[in-house]
Structure 1
Amino acid sequence: MSKHKLLVAIFAVGMTAAVFAGCSNEKNTSNGTITSGITLFGNKYTGSYTGELNNGNPEGKGVIEVDGDIVSKVEGTWKDGSLDGKCTITYSDGSIEEGDMVENRFDGEITKTFADGTYNVMNYNSGIPNGAIKYYDSKGTLTDYDWNYEQVPIKKLISQVKDVKYSQLIYYPDNYVGKMIKATGTVESVYEAKINAYITIKDSDGKIYVCKCKNMKVFNGRQSISQTYKVGDKVQVYGYLLKTDMYTHFNDDKSTKYNQYTGTLPYVEVVYSYDVNAGEFNPLNPSYTYEDVAKNPYGYAGMKAKVNGKVNYIELNNKKNTATIKLEVGNKQFYYVNFKYNKKTKVLPAINDEITIEGKYYGIYKEEYIKNVDDIGLVDDDDIEYRYEVYPYINAKNVIENK
């Protein structure tokens, strides 16, 4: 699927046929055919638009036949001359892309079907592809799975990685900044911050890498697909070299103190990583066990969830009509659940209620607390250390009380 944002603008440049008779009103609506220009994926095309018009601009349902080598036809719902609503793009190679447009951008679930009948499905957020890419054969069987990182499939990024000696990263970092590298080693430390997780790993030669993983759900296309780790795990990491530096804290998270090592270290923004001993997550055959979901929170993100448990804690946000539920499913095993309630919601669960959650996995939730809270009155604010417990997160569609 395209790696670029979808930006569409259409403008009338002349009449190619008489406007067909329509019932005029104060908005001057009609049906007709006009010659129009269209900017699609940053490329401009001209073509013939046929459909509903308002003051000479596309408004309502219509289709434009495009003279171009990439796109041949765009059909959909138009508003004020732009695509807004259901849309189908037909490409010159015979493939078809279908989904919703919001303000000229793909938004929501988009399907691209190829000439041989195979297709893939992914989600867009304001024109940017995010999260999983699901690949299907012509019979509708799921055959492969991938994830987007900055609008590029991760498998494609990983295929571009080349082995680089550690000394090269240290002494000639400018040659590698912004390039994909890989590192294999044992986790020496794990630091959780508000948005990121930072791990330090030591390779077989005793060399240290500082690795930054975005482990809160993000919509800028830079969501790290990383497992959760503990000290002692052997991991394989793929990511972009940001720089090499000495650290007293972790770059953009000054609240996370860092003084375990001295000297210049490579700093990597992780795109993909996994526990070598546990193995990579297999999205074609997920187990749905708590242990597997907790280990692979963004592997499961977007998959259907159905979980039974006991309400350990619940907090209501009456302004947003949302409830946050901490659901206990085993010994020290918890899910955090977001649930939007409304007038049709009969009963909200209470603490210790047994309930069933139905919805979708959404990554992780970080439960924040302050280290040494009993001593908080004895220290300056700058000395406060925030800590986080990490749990799998579910967006619930239904909350059912088990009676």
Structure 2
Amino acid sequence: MFSKKINIICAGTLLCTVLATSQISLVKADDSELILNIATETYTGTYSGDTKDGEPSGEGTFSVSNDNNDFTLSGTWKDGLLEGNVEIDYADGAKTNAQFKNGLMTGTTTEYNADGSYSVYSCTKGRPYGRIYKYDSDGHLNGDDFYYQMRTISSLKAASIEADYNQLLGTSFPDSPQKITGTVAAVFSSSNNCFIILYDNQSHPYVLTYANNSTNKYNQAIVPNLKEGDHITAYGYLQKQDALNSFEDALGRSLLVTDAPENMYSLSDNDLSDILDAVTSSASAAYNENATSTLPFILVFAADVSGSSSFDTTAPSMDYSDIINNPYLYSNIKYTLTGTVKKCVSKYEKGYVQLIISENETNNLFYVKYRYSDGSELPATGDLVTVNGLFNGNYKKIIPDEDANILKNNSSNVPDADDASDDTTVDSANADSNIDSADSSSESIEDVVDDDILEDDVLYDKITYVILYPRLSATDITIQK
């Protein structure tokens, strides 16, 4: 055991955020001090604990107390790096419990306020992500927030400024996030992203874009599945100034499965196209009107629809229309689905099965992906099944143009969007029976279920329509015999 003066290097004023996003290590500076590396600011404090070869190794405590900071960090160290459980206690009574691996916050983190209320979230290799569960001092879930690129969406919204259209088309990019209020004129999708033509209250056109496939682990915008005519307030950053017709990826007119005919699987391609064209005709007009104009492209992280009900984290409605309209508010929420398999595609070489299931009594359609173990029985088309799973964003049924060309995509080098990683995630089962965690990354192009639409390693250069389904990542499937 020893005690000596050291420095803690830390970025920003929120220690917990910095601890989550930076590797923490103690290195020997000279015979009189050690330096605790986190980022760029310096805090001086005292380390007391076990050491090995001059580095903290074993149980140890770092304490700092001055006019700006007053906290104590206690935990396990290994070769100068934090490893295992760590507790940070603040002078005002607040505290943080976290898990570290190789000096980076990894796993479940709990931040307690002085009044006993607390928040729980997950980190992977120093990167916080997903939903933040908020509880009162009695342990009752009473709200939530979300991380987007390691910042909370609530804080990003608070920092947003009213958009100045002329400035957004100017020669300098604003650093601040923008707030834009207007009406949706058209919605398009590529294989992985959404593109929305929005007219603000002065009739200025914008293009809003975000990832709208399976839930993106670190960069998921909390945006509803928007429709033409929705009056919204969107929040995001200026991404570029460009024309719609310069976009390289194929774009299809986007609609919800509830807007498609119930018998679409039995319709001919021509009949289905005629029906979908009537539903989405105004989208083509909006595209053609703006195709060659230079527009501000806004990478959005959140959007709210005027007049829509607030999402209740403590008791989600589980209504199908709410689920399909708000796929990312429902992400990682548990659901039990019983219904008939309308379509089944087994990917034996990859170890999973993809299903379209019609729910009993309602005929609501869900996309389900199930990663099975060796020896499992697998469902077939027509089977009655019960699925337990977690909501995981949208599934996209892509309908190519009749003269589309097939493009090869090297998906063998792309991680599967529904793969579960070995990272520890928030276990919220002790807080709310409907909420859990799915550690899924969708920074890649997702495999598409329909073998008659798109194979695993193929994309199309022209897309006519994209139909969105609720996506479930199944944890188990029971075949009713």
Q: For the superposition of Structure 1 and Structure 2, which TM-score range results when normalised by the shorter chain? A: 0.7 to 0.9
Aligned amino acid, residue 364 of structure 1: N
Unpaired runs of 5+ in structure 1?
Answer: 17-34
In structure 2, how many angstroms separate the alpha carbons of the residues matched to 1:54 and 1:168? Answer: 57
Contact 1:63 1:73 (C-alpha < 8 Å) held by counterparts = no
The partner residue of 1:9 within 25, 38, 42 is 25
Shift of 1:37: 4.0
* Cα deviation digits, residues 284-327 of structure 1 (max 9, x gap): 44201221111111111122222222223334444553333333
Aligned residues: 373
Q: Is the 8 A contact 1:312 1:327 kept in 2?
A: yes
Instruction: Name the counterpart of 1:139.
Output: 138
TM-score between the two structures when normalised by the length of structure 1? 0.79
| 2:371 partner letter | K
The answer (yes or no) to whether the contact 2:159–2:176 under 8 Å persists in 1 is: no
Secondary structure in 1 aligned to 2:324?
helix
Match of 1:288 among 318, 334, 344: 318
Q: In structure 2, what residue type is equivalent to 1:102?
A: K
Within the alignment, does 1:199 sit opposite 2:230 as a pair? no
In structure 2, relative to structure 1, the CA distance for the partners of 1:108 and 1:391 (3 Å cut) is: farther
Residue 262 of structure 2 is aligned to residue 267 of structure 1: no
* C-alpha distance in structure 1 between counterparts of 2:311 and 2:246, whole Å: 31
Alignment of 1:175-190 (within 5 A): 177-190=174-187
Give the alignment's Cα RMSD to 1 decimal: 3.3
**2:405, 2:460 within 8 Å by CA — same for their partners in 1?**
no
TM norm structure 2 = 0.68
Q: Classify the secondary structure of the residue corresponding to 1:297.
A: coil
Counterpart CA distance in 2 for 1:80 and 1:315 is: 49
- 1:351 is aligned to 381
In the other structure, the counterpart of 2:369 is 338
Contact 2:400 2:460 in 1 (8 A): no
1:39 and 2:69 aligned: no
Distance 1:209 1:13, change over 3 A: closer
Moved more, 288-297 or 4-13: 4-13
For 1:256, which of 239, 251, 259 is the aligned residue? 251
What letter corresponds to residue 23 of structure 2 in structure 1?
L
Determine whether 1:152 maps to 2:151. Answer: yes
User: Secondary structure, in 3 states, of the residue corresponding to 1:225?
Assistant: coil
Which amino acid is 1:388 matched to? Answer: V
Q: Distance in 1 between matches of 2:460 and 2:138?
A: 59
Deviation at 1:351, TM superposition (A): 2.3
The residue number in structure 1 matching 2:87 is 88
Give the stretch that moved more between structures: 185-194 or 1-10. Answer: 1-10
Bigger mean CA offset, 307-316 vs 68-77:
68-77
Quote the offset at 1:55 in angstroms: 5.6
1:399 has 2:477 as partner = yes
Distance 1:207 1:341, change over 3 A: same
Aligned residue in 2 for 1:384: 461
The Cα of 1:140 is off from its aligned counterpart by 0.9
What percent identity do the matched residue pairs reach? Answer: 26
Aligned amino acid, residue 216 of structure 2: V
Equivalent-residue separation in structure 1 for 2:366 and 2:26 (angstroms): 46
Counterparts of 1:48-197 in structure 2 under 5 Å?
A: 48-51=47-50, 57-59=55-57, 61-67=58-64, 70=69, 72-170=71-169, 172=170, 174=172, 177-197=174-194
Distance 1:340 1:86, change over 3 A: farther
Q: Distance in 2 between matches of 1:313 and 1:239?
A: 38
* Residue identity matched to 1:132: R
Equivalent residue number for residue 32 of structure 1: none
Letter in 2 for 1:335: F
Q: Report the Cα distance in structure 2 between the residues aligned to 1:243 and 1:47, rounded to whole angstroms.
A: 48
Partner SS state of residue 322, structure 2: helix
In structure 2, what is the Cα distance between the partners aligned to 1:315 and 1:244? 41
C-alpha distance after superposition, 1:121-168 (max 9, x if no partner): 112232112121222111012222211222222222222333344344
